[in-house]
């Protein structure tokens, strides 16, 4: 069953076609990699899925429901959570509070309950803190929960973004270069975390330039060039696909 | 029809003054991302300095009138520029790395300070510019009698704006100002002395603003110490209308605001003209959230 | 809650102040309380959500005029007009903020200034024939609370500071909830906030509406205290003062109180300098900001019950700790 399906998505900026008539699907429970040379439009595709951009043409379905053009917070409520390529944490809030921000959309306390701290609000708050601590433990940041997020190392900031996304109970997790700026050890840990996420029943769609990581964990790759799909399939097949090899020629930093 | 053209010309004259003041807001915003709320009061200071120089130094006795006025123009611009330069050093430079709104509050404090300094020095009454300063010829255009002073004000503001545009577009220093406005960090790495550029902007902006103050004195014949608030607010509105940080935008915004106001005063109701100006601003921003010429940068994700 | 002793000391001081102050200084303290009320409500919008709003006087004006009109024309008792004044200001805020809420920083700043000016000009021009033009409205009656007539400065003092106390508690609750966190997230990075599930537009609007409601209620108290209101009491300068109080405060509620005392009290202390007092005031504004660019008292961290309980001591993170956590989950 497909959890996510893109149908003929086109996104244009000014005169530039960033994504061109793109269709692909993500099967529930899988880990799918979206790859391609720099400027291929990968992040634009993500932004179309998460509602940050509205595509000019085409439709996006999540679990069979159309989500094209929904506002980003609605998309999160439906069960798609994301991380950002250029880390976007709330730097002056604590690590725990950043995770609680992800939990926000699953909480219900209204304005008056918040002002008056009603018993229901207190219960909900307590449960949210407990849940977020669990997510922090999951990524290994629990002992730093009271630190300011801006003070974490690059790799830990990426993990915190993942924890924040997980706190919103996603069914699909979208990771934009999760290993960017990580050293080898951190990347190895990340691979384990992504696998554990899938074991929790969460589908993962990721953009990554670290081909070792991609080959290690993805069951399927979708390859973009100039905003258009050039190939999709199993990683091993993609490695030998002529169009893919062509697209990557000269991209020295992305050795297979 | 004649009334329309008269209002239009009147609007262009006032708009030219707004534009000159707006340039100061927009240039400072460009390099520092700061709304210099004290800018309107530098404009007031320009008007008062002009009066003092013209009246007490008896320049107009020593030199032919147009030359005297021109000399005063230059002196006022230089003095206002000097005050602007000192203001930046004293009130804004220490806050360069603080939150943006801290500098805004400092600017508001500076505005209150300048306004009350003018009041203490000159008194709270309205001052009248000497009558003989006002050129009293009229020009006949298409059968309309147009006061010459109106045309002179339009011409002077257009001339100053063209001069500034040429400076910004054609010179190396102008290129440095543009570079700092786009990215101060990168500009510094390219060997541009950012502090010097900021100081320069605080010379040019207040210089133009001070000159505009003198023009208001000559055009309307009277000045008071609170005029910086209203003109400053209008000019800031004009800068936003055109797209803050954008130099042609400030010019366009100023002229447009002047014309809108004049037409609103002429055709709707003079009591509502300021409200209408703001209403138009709000409507334009609803349609174009970054002003008329402001860049519509999509948020980087 | 490290600041609790400070609050208690301040509270005790405020309680006994009427016993030692003369009527003049008591009136000053009433005004300080009123501005504290306005600044606390603006702090939700400007301090917590980071929305550049310099037009709070407009909502204050709407509240004051609603009370004045209902009281003088329909003979409503003052306290009955209070919820309506708040609601009217909130509704007004909702209507004007809805189309402009997406504007960024400085664009929003000038638009909110514009709203103050439009409101003031509308009041001067006797809009709907109800506002009395530039003379304003006079003859507003004194409020009655359970049969007790509030007339004297001391009465208003306790009324205003009682409201400040209640506001402190309610806004503190707000700050310590998902609502306050959502506003902080919007201030830090609104795209990230939206991206992790916060309805940014809705929360910004709610902040506006809530702040305006409070400003409207403050307007009621102001009208009752003054018994006369005029458009010039709600000009741009008022907005500037409220704005500056919030920025100087640094964003915490205690900071707002201290800042309100400085901003409203200072010109009174400087009265002996007569004409020069506003000159010194402007200078003081600059010096205070340069002295404390981050504000007097930035908000401290929120504390969460037991997040660090039952955790391993903060040891340097082992390389494979994340892996273990991943497996155990």
B188-202, pLDDT tens digit by residue?
999 999 999 999 999
Q: Which CATH class is domain A2-92+169-248?
A: alpha beta
The closest of A24, A75, A80, A33 to A176, measured between CA atoms, is A33
DSSP β-ladder status, B127-128 and A228-233: unpaired
Total residue count of chain B as it appears in this document: 301
Q: Output the pLDDT for position B301.
A: 59
Best probe of the C interface among A79, A83, A137, by most C CBs < 10 A, is A137
H or E segment to which residue A228 belongs: strand A228-233
Q: Output the pLDDT for position C327.
A: 33
Q: Output the pLDDT for position B298.
A: 53
Buried b (16+ CB within 10 A) or exposed e, B246-277: bbbbbbbbbbbbbbbbbbbbbeeeeebbbbbb
| pLDDT of residue B142 exceeding 90 | no
Q: Output the pLDDT for position C317.
A: 34
- Considering only CB atoms, C191 lies closest to which of A88, A125, A140, namely A88
Distance CA B172, CA B178 (A): 10
Q: Output the pLDDT for position A190.
A: 95
Cβ(C58)–Cβ(C116) under 8 Å? yes
B52 versus A133: which is more confidently predicted? A133
Kindly list the residues from chain B whose CB atom is less than 8 angstroms away from the CB atom of residue A42.
none
| pLDDT of residue A233 exceeding 50 | yes
- Considering only CB atoms, C317 lies closest to which of A50, A89, A140, namely A140
Buried b (16+ CB within 10 A) or exposed e, B30-57: bbbebbbbbbbbbbbbbbbbbbebbeee
Best probe of the C interface among B22, B29, B112, by most C CBs < 10 A, is B112
Best probe of the C interface among A80, A111, A138, A197, by most C CBs < 10 A, is A111
- Considering only CB atoms, B116 lies closest to which of C243, C279, C294, namely C279
Cβ(C137)–Cβ(C68) under 8 Å? yes
Task: Answer positive or negative: Cα dihedral of C107, C110, C113, C117.
Answer: negative
| pLDDT of residue B274 exceeding 90 | no
Neighbours of chain A (3+ CB pairs under 8 A): B, C
CB contact under 8 A, B301 and A13: no
CB < 8 Å & 24+ apart, contacts of A185-192: A185/C319, A186/A155, A187/A212, A187/A213, A188/C323, A189/A140, A189/C319, A189/C320, A189/C322, A189/C323, A189/C326, A190/A158, A190/A159, A190/C322, A191/A216, A191/A217, A192/C322, A192/C323, A192/C326, A192/C327
Q: pLDDT grade, residue A199 (50/70/90)?
A: very high
Cβ(B253)–Cβ(B292) under 8 Å? yes
The mean-pLDDT minimum among A202-211, B125-134, B218-227 falls in: B125-134
The mean-pLDDT minimum among A167-176, B10-19, B130-139, C246-255 falls in: B130-139
Kindly list the residues from chain B whose CB atom is less than 8 angstroms away from the CB atom of residue A84.
301
B122 inside 8 A of chain C by CB: no
Residues 220-279 of B with CB under 8 A from C: 229, 233, 236-237, 240, 244, 271-272, 274-275, 278-279
Kindly list the residues from chain C whose CB atom is less than 8 angstroms away from the CB atom of residue B283.
none
Best probe of the A interface among C196, C200, C311, by most A CBs < 10 A, is C196
Distance CA B119, CA B44 (A): 11
C294 inside 8 A of chain A by CB: no
Domain extent listing, chain C = 40-235
Bridge partners of A65, per DSSP, are A62
| pLDDT of residue A255 exceeding 60 | no
Q: Which residues contact A55 (CB under 8 A, 6 or more apart)?
A: A9, A10, A11, A19, A48, A68
Best probe of the A interface among C178, C312, C313, C317, by most A CBs < 10 A, is C178
A50 inside 8 A of chain B by CB: no
The closest of C242, C255, C299, C248 to C37, measured between CA atoms, is C242
| pLDDT of residue C97 exceeding 80 | yes
Q: pLDDT grade, residue C308 (50/70/90)?
A: low
| pLDDT of residue C307 exceeding 60 | no
| pLDDT of residue A253 exceeding 70 | no
Average confidence score pLDDT of chain A:
92
Total residue count of chain C as it appears in this document: 329
Q: Nearest residue of B to residue A176 by CA position?
A: B301
Q: Which residues contact B122 (CB under 8 A, 6 or more apart)?
A: B48, B225
Kindly list the residues from chain A whose CB atom is less than 8 angstroms away from the CB atom of residue C300.
none
Best probe of the B interface among C61, C289, C293, by most B CBs < 10 A, is C289
CB contact under 8 A, C311 and A143: yes
The closest of B268, B209, B202 to B234, measured between CA atoms, is B209
How many Å lie between the alpha carbon of A43 and the closest alpha carbon of chain B? 8
Cβ(C315)–Cβ(A140) under 8 Å? no
CB contact under 8 A, A192 and C323: yes
H or E segment to which residue A203 belongs: strand A203-207
CB contact under 8 A, C282 and B104: no
Residues 260-299 of B with CB under 8 A from A: 298-299
How many Å lie between the alpha carbon of B49 and the closest alpha carbon of chain C? 19
CB contact under 8 A, A143 and C177: no
How many Å lie between the alpha carbon of B237 and the closest alpha carbon of chain C? 7
C317 versus A21: which is more confidently predicted? A21
- Rounded to an integer, the average pLDDT of A208-232 is 91
CB contact under 8 A, B298 and A43: no
Please calculate the CA angle B135-B141-B142 and round it to the nearest 5 degrees. 160
Average confidence score pLDDT of chain B:
88
CB contact under 8 A, A43 and B301: yes
Average confidence score pLDDT of chain C:
87
Q: Output the pLDDT for position A254.
A: 53
- Considering only CB atoms, B236 lies closest to which of C110, C282, C293, namely C110
Q: Output the pLDDT for position C328.
A: 35
A129 versus C9: which is more confidently predicted? A129
A86 inside 8 A of chain B by CB: yes
CB atoms near residue C142 (< 10 Å): 16
Kindly list the residues from chain B whose CB atom is less than 8 angstroms away from the CB atom of residue A43.
301
- Considering only CB atoms, A76 lies closest to which of C188, C191, C197, namely C197
Q: Output the pLDDT for position C318.
A: 34
How many Å lie between the alpha carbon of A233 and the closest alpha carbon of chain B? 28
Q: pLDDT grade, residue C141 (50/70/90)?
A: confident
Distance CA A256, CA A248 (A): 9
Please tell me whether residue A165 adopts helix, strand or coil conformation.
helix
- Considering only CB atoms, C285 lies closest to which of B105, B114, B117, namely B105
B301 versus A104: which is more confidently predicted? A104
| pLDDT of residue C321 exceeding 50 | no
Total residue count of chain A as it appears in this document: 256
Q: Output the pLDDT for position C306.
A: 63
Backbone angles phi, psi at B256, to 5 degrees: -60, -45
The mean-pLDDT minimum among A210-214, B43-47, B293-297, C173-177 falls in: B293-297
A56 inside 8 A of chain B by CB: no
Q: Say yes or no: ipTM exceeds 0.85.
A: yes
What is the DSSP track for B42-94?
A: HHHHHHHHHHHHHHHS-HHHHS-HHHHHHHHHHHHHHHHHHHHHHHIIIIIGG
Give residue-wise pLDDT tens across range A176-192: 999 988 999 999 999 99
- Considering only CB atoms, C244 lies closest to which of B108, B233, B271, namely B108
Distance CA C99, CA B283 (A): 9
As a whole-number percent, the residues of chain A with pLDDT over 70 amount to 97
CB contact under 8 A, A109 and C177: yes
- Rounded to an integer, the average pLDDT of B195-221 is 92
Direct distance between the N- and C-terminal alpha carbons of chain C, in angstroms, rounded to an integer: 34
| pLDDT of residue C147 exceeding 90 | no
Q: How deeply is B64 buried, as exposed, middle or buried, from its count of CB atoms within 10 A (0-12, 13-18, 19+)?
A: exposed
Q: Output the pLDDT for position C311.
A: 47
H or E segment to which residue A232 belongs: strand A228-233
Distance CA A115, CA C182 (A): 14
- Considering only CB atoms, C276 lies closest to which of B97, B120, B240, namely B120
Cβ(A199)–Cβ(A164) under 8 Å? no
Q: pLDDT grade, residue C300 (50/70/90)?
A: confident
As a whole-number percent, the residues of chain C with pLDDT over 90 amount to 58
Bridge partners of A10, per DSSP, are A57
| pLDDT of residue C90 exceeding 90 | yes
Q: Output the pLDDT for position C324.
A: 34
CB atoms near residue A130 (< 10 Å): 12
How many Å lie between the alpha carbon of A123 and the closest alpha carbon of chain B? 35
A7 inside 8 A of chain B by CB: no
A14 versus B283: which is more confidently predicted? B283
The closest of C289, C207, C244, C271 to C57, measured between CA atoms, is C244
Q: Output the pLDDT for position C175.
A: 94
Cβ(A141)–Cβ(A151) under 8 Å? no
The closest of A200, A227, A245, A246 to A31, measured between CA atoms, is A200
CB contact under 8 A, A93 and C184: yes
Please tell me whether residue C305 adopts helix, strand or coil conformation.
coil
C193 inside 8 A of chain A by CB: yes
How many Å lie between the alpha carbon of C295 and the closest alpha carbon of chain B? 8
Q: Which residues contact C193 (CB under 8 A, 6 or more apart)?
A: A90, A101, C182, C185, C186, C200
Q: Output the pLDDT for position C184.
A: 95
CA-CA-CA-CA torsion for B94, B97, B102, B105, nearest 10 degrees? 50
- Considering only CB atoms, A92 lies closest to which of C188, C319, C329, namely C188
Kindly list the residues from chain A whose CB atom is less than 8 angstroms away from the CB atom of residue B300.
86
- Considering only CB atoms, A90 lies closest to which of C174, C189, C305, namely C189
- Rounded to an integer, the average pLDDT of A237-243 is 87
Give residue-wise pLDDT tens across range C169-226: 999 999 999 999 999 999 999 999 999 999 999 999 999 999 999 999 999 999 999 9
Distance CA C15, CA C11 (A): 6
Q: Output the pLDDT for position C29.
A: 92
Q: Which residues contact A138 (CB under 8 A, 6 or more apart)?
A: A163, A166, A193, A196, C325, C326, C329
How many Å is the Cα radius of gyration of chain A? Answer: 19
- B291 conformational bin, left if phi > 0, alpha if psi -120 to 50, beta if neither: left
């Amino acid at each position: 069953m497909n959890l996510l399906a893109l149908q003929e998505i086109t996104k244009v900026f000014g005169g530039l076609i960033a994504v061109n008539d793109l269709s692909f699907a993500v099967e529930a429970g899988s880990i799918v990699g979206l790859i391609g040379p720099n400027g291929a439009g990968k992040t634009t595709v993500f932004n179309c899925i998460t509602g940050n951009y509205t595509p000019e043409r085409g439709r996006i379905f999540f679990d069979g429901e159309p989500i094209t053009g929904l506002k980003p917070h609605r998309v999160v409520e439906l069960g798609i959570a994301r991380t950002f390529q250029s880390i976007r944490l709330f730097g002056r809030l604590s690590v725990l509070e950043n995770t609680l921000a992800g939990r926000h959309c699953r909480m219900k306390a209204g304005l008056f309950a918040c002002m008056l701290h009603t018993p229901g609000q207190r219960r909900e708050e307590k449960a949210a803190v407990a849940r977020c601590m669990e997510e922090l433990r999951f990524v290994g940041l629990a002992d730093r929960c009271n630190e300011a997020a801006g003070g974490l190392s690059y790799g830990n900031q990426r993990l915190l973004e993942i924890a924040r996304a997980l706190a919103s109970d996603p069914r699909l997790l979208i990771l934009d270069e999760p290993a960017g700026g990580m050293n080898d050890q951190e990347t190895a840990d990340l691979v384990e975390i992504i696998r554990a996420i899938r074991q929790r029943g969460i589908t993962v769609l990721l953009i990554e330039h670290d081909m070792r990581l991609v080959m290690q964990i993805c069951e399927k790759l979708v390859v973009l060039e100039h905003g258009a799909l050039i190939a999709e399939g199993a990683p091993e097949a993609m490695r030998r696909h002529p169009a893919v090899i062509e697209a990557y020629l000269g991209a020295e930093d992305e050795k297979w | 029809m004649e009334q329309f053209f008269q209002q239009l010309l009147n609007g262009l004259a006032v708009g030219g003054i707004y534009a000159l003041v707006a340039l100061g807001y927009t240039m400072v915003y460009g390099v520092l991302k700061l709304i210099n709320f004290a800018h309107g009061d530098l404009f007031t200071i320009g008007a008062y300095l002009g009066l003092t120089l013209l009246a007490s130094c008896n320049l107009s006795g020593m030199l032919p009138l147009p030359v005297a006025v021109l000399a005063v123009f230059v002196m006022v611009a230089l003095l206002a520029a000097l005050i602007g330069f000192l203001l930046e050093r004293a009130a804004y430079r220490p806050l360069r790395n603080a939150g943006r709104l801290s500098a805004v509050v400092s600017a508001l404090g500076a505005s209150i300070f300048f306004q009350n300094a003018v009041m203490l020095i000159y008194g709270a009454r309205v001052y009248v510019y000497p009558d003989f300063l006002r050129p009293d010829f009229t020009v006949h255009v298409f059968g309309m009698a147009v006061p010459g002073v109106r045309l002179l004000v339009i011409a002077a503001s257009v001339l100053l704006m063209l001069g500034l545009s040429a400076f910004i577009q054609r010179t190396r220093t102008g290129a440095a100002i543009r570079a700092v406005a786009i990215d101060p960090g990168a500009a510094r790495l390219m060997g541009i002395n950012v502090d010097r550029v900021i100081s320069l902007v605080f010379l040019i902006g207040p210089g133009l603003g001070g000159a505009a103050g003198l023009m208001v004195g000559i055009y309307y014949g009277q000045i008071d110490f609170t005029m910086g608030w209203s003109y400053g607010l209008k000019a800031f509105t004009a800068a936003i209308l055109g797209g803050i940080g954008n130099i042609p935008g400030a010019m366009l915004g100023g002229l447009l605001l002047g014309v809108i106001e004049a037409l609103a005063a002429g055709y709707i109701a003079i009591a509502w003209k300021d409200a209408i100006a703001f209403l138009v601003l709000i409507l334009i921003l609803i349609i174009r959230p970054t002003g008329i010429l402001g860049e519509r940068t999509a948020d980087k994700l | 809650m490290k600041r609790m002793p400070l609050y208690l000391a301040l509270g005790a001081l405020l309680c006994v102040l009427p016993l030692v102050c003369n009527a003049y200084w008591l009136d000053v303290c009433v005004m300080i309380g009123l501005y504290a009320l306005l600044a606390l409500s603006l702090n939700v919008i400007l301090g917590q959500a980071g929305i550049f709003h310099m037009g709070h006087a407009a909502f204050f004006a709407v509240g004051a005029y609603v009370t004045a009109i209902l009281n003088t024309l329909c003979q409503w008792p003052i306290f009955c007009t209070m919820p309506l004044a708040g609601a009217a200001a909130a509704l007004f805020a909702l209507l004007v903020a809805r189309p402009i809420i997406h504007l960024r920083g400085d664009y929003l700043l000038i638009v909110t200034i514009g709203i103050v000016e439009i409101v003031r000009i509308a009041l001067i021009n006797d809009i709907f024939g109800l506002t009395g033009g530039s003379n304003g409205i006079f003859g507003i009656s004194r409020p009655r609370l359970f049969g007790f007539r509030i007339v004297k400065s001391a009465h208003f003092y306790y009324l205003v500071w009682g409201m400040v106390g209640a506001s402190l508690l309610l806004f503190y609750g707000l700050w310590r909830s998902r609502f306050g966190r959502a506003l902080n997230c919007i201030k830090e990075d609104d795209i990230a906030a939206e991206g992790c599930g916060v309805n940014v537009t809705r929360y910004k609007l709610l902040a506006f509406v809530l702040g305006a409601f409070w400003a409207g209620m403050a307007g009621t108290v102001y009208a009752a205290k003054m018994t006369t209101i005029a458009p010039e009491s709600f000009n741009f300068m008022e907005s500037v003062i409220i704005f500056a109080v919030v920025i100087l405060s640094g964003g915490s509620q205690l900071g707002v109180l201290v800042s309100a005392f400085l901003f409203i009290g200072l010109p009174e202390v400087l009265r002996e300098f007569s004409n020069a007092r506003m000159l010194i005031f402007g200078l003081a504004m600059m010096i205070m900001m340069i002295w404390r660019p981050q504000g007097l008292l930035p908000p401290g961290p929120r504390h969460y019950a037991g997040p660090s309980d039952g955790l391993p001591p903060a040891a340097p993170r082992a390389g494979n700790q994340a892996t273990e956590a991943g497996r155990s989950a």
